[in-house]
Amino acid sequence: MTALLLLAHGSPRASANAALVRLAGRLRERSEFQLVAVGYLECNEPSIPESIDLCAAAGATEIVVVPWFLHIGTHVAQDLPGFLRQGEERHPGVVIRLSDYVGLAPMVADLLADRALVAAQASV
């Protein structure tokens, strides 16, 4: 089974985390992955190691990880790969694949332009 794991920084503000939880729900509805889970770097549960363990316990033999981050800071460049290596060490039969972070996607520029145009039209 292949799991999709969305990773985020996490926030003490519940509303900040709610968007990711809703997004995970939408991805579950698409049924492209048998399991869709979230994991947080800090402030929330499950933590990244816990979320990897939960995916493995649910029977995932492959975990595709998508970082819900906009730029390649220390967390994306160092922390996340370290957590994923540790996860593979804890679960030798599980392959963990790290995708590019969300902010690197070319469609982010389209999204930003769209948001800017909506805001500009609202002020007219």
Q: In what order do the strands lie in the sheet with 95-98?
A: 35-40, 2-8, 62-67, 95-98
CB 44 within 8 A of CB 17: yes
Catalytic residue among 9, 71, 75, 91: 9
3-state secondary structure of 108: helix
82 residue type, one letter: G
Q: Where are the alpha helices (DSSP H) in the chain?
A: 14-30, 48-57, 74, 80-90, 107-122
Q: What are phi and psi of 108, to 5 degrees?
A: -65, -40
9 has catalytic annotation: yes
Whose tokens are 């649910």? That residue is 58
Active-site residues, by number, are 9
